[in-house]
Structure 1
Amino acid sequence: MQFVESTGLSVRSAVWVLQRRETALRFHLFCMVHVGSQSFYDEVAERLGSCDVIVAEGYGQSRRRFVRLRLGLHRLVQRAGKHELVYQHVDYASFGVPVIWPDLDEPEPRDAVARAERPLRSQVLFLGFLLLLPVRAFGVLLLGGRRFLTRSLSLNVEDTTVFTGGGHVSAMVLDDRDDLLVAALSRLHDTRAAERVDVAVVYGAAHMPAVVRHLNAAYGYRPTGGEWLTVHGVRV
């Protein structure tokens, strides 16, 4: 099961539909790449318009500094106008449906203890990672993002690689947030599985292996359809 595919000419991102026979609820997994063409984000937005609930990565309208920096980067790139790639921005408020932000949830007590036991150095590195991510993305845009992404992206359900330096930082950037994400999806299944509800999961592609494994192992959800969206490059 592929989430992101690099063909050498382009990068494509998958949109998978997960469903099970016993219930009507469907999960639509939008495997996001955070730097891409504006047309890619427009296509994502078009499909989100038909969903009933959105589970989104990030912190919503939080005043956290790195969120403001990310949105400021998007506006800067948009004003520049000459770049073929832009930083991800989706106006979730425009869809008029409930938006769930798992990153705002409090971790379970065992996760909180695990966080407290991690070294201070890892906490500092994690904060640095969050603050520098938009800066790195801006560098990709300026220095030839199309070629860089085409050569570097590929992800499938068996892949657990994260480009965060490993160790405690990887755990905080990916593993802890995966736990919050799958917990939010479990709550949706528990409360709305009998309804014909389309749930959009709009998260970075690196989070999707954990989502697929959890929904399959816990509830028996399986892929029933999918399509490719072109992140950038030649459409095929």
Structure 2
Amino acid sequence: MQIIEVTGYAVRSAVITMRRKGTPLEFVIFPMLHVASPTFYSQVRLRLRDCDLIVLEGIRGRSVGVSALTLAYRFAPRRKRNGLQEQHEGLLLPEGVPIINPDVTAAEAIEDLKTLPRWMYLLLMVVAPVMGLVFALRGPRAFLDEDMEVEDLPSTLRAEMMADDPVERAMIGRRDQRLLAALGEIYAERGEERIRVAIVYGAGHVPAVVTGLRDRYGYRPREAEWLTVLIPA
């Protein structure tokens, strides 16, 4: 199943609704890119108004290391001619919908990254600002790269790939576990309620969410709606 689609002229994100037979609670997954056109964020915000609970990504607290890593997507919107905007809560979240944030703290995120070999950790800190400059200079065309595509790979294959990629494991492993634990609590406590639970997380987390909801609770993707993330001029 395609989650993020990259073509020669646009990037699109698939909003996925997951349901379980005999269970009224629905999960609606919004695969996010942290830099996109303002229209994309307004379209997500519009759909979040119809949800009863939002599970939101966001590392809590601050650290120099996390700030260095996020430079990669904070540089690109600074050139106004790029027509891009950085994701932030004021732009995205509607009023009146409850929000929970099961993400890690900044200290925990850096703790996980420091499990990498020291040279690899230092390289990450250097590469992130450089990538941000590349995005800023190239504009939206920098996002039209097939490496950005995200698919829901079979869980066993994804586990094998993650095991071979220490950087991915360090960056999102614990965060995925926290997210799935929170979704499990929501399912246990509110599974008999007819509500829509929005999961607003970066696209890289979505394969783990889809496979986790499927394997643990029997949820299946039942609907998908494509939203355009950006169209370069």
Fold match (TM-score > 0.5): yes
Instruction: Report the TM-score when normalising by structure 1.
Output: 0.77
* Paired residue secondary structure (1:8): coil
2:199 is matched with 201
1:47 corresponds to which letter in structure 2? R
Counterparts of 1:1-236 in structure 2, within 5 Å, are: 1-59=1-59, 62-65=61-64, 77=77, 80-91=79-90, 94-104=94-104, 118=115, 121=118, 125=121, 129=124, 133=128, 135=129, 138-152=132-146, 153-158=148-153, 160=158, 167-233=165-231
Q: Do the aligned partners of residues 4 and 116 (structure 1) sit closer, same or farther apart at CA in structure 2, a change above 3 Å counting?
A: closer
Q: Give the Cα–Cα distance (whole angstroms) in 1 for the partners of residues 89 and 211 of structure 2.
A: 26
1:151 corresponds to which letter in structure 2? D
- For structure 2, the 5+ residue unaligned runs are none
Contact 1:36 1:231 in 2 (8 A): yes
- C-alpha deviation, 1:74, in angstroms: 5.3
Q: Do the aligned partners of residues 5 and 23 (structure 1) sit closer, same or farther apart at CA in structure 2, a change above 3 Å counting?
A: same
Q: Give the Cα–Cα distance (whole angstroms) in 2 for the partners of residues 130 and 63 of structure 1.
A: 15
Contact 2:76 2:82 in 1 (8 A): no
Instruction: Report the TM-score when normalising by structure 2.
Output: 0.78
Q: Do the aligned partners of residues 76 and 229 (structure 1) sit closer, same or farther apart at CA in structure 2, a change above 3 Å counting?
A: closer
Contact 1:18 1:27 in 2 (8 A): yes
Cα RMSD for the two superposed structures: 3.4
1:108 is matched with none
Q: Give the Cα–Cα distance (whole angstroms) in 2 for the partners of residues 131 and 191 of structure 1.
A: 44
Q: Do the aligned partners of residues 203 and 139 (structure 1) sit closer, same or farther apart at CA in structure 2, a change above 3 Å counting?
A: same
- C-alpha deviation, 1:131, in angstroms: 8.8
1:25 corresponds to which letter in structure 2? L
Q: Do the aligned partners of residues 132 and 202 (structure 1) sit closer, same or farther apart at CA in structure 2, a change above 3 Å counting?
A: farther
1:121 corresponds to which letter in structure 2? R
CA deviation string 1:43-88 (max 9, x = no partner):
111111221111111135x3445677759x759936x533222222
Contact 2:103 2:175 in 1 (8 A): yes
* Paired residue secondary structure (2:82): coil
When structure 1 is superposed on structure 2, of 213-222 and 81-90 the one drifting more is 81-90
Contact 2:75 2:133 in 1 (8 A): no
Q: Give the Cα–Cα distance (whole angstroms) in 1 for the partners of residues 93 and 59 of structure 2.
A: 13
Contact 2:7 2:144 in 1 (8 A): yes
Contact 1:41 1:89 in 2 (8 A): no
Q: Do the aligned partners of residues 64 and 18 (structure 1) sit closer, same or farther apart at CA in structure 2, a change above 3 Å counting?
A: same
* Paired residue secondary structure (2:103): helix
- C-alpha deviation, 1:15, in angstroms: 0.3
Q: Give the Cα–Cα distance (whole angstroms) in 2 for the partners of residues 154 and 76 of structure 1.
A: 19
- C-alpha deviation, 1:217, in angstroms: 0.9
* Paired residue secondary structure (1:96): coil
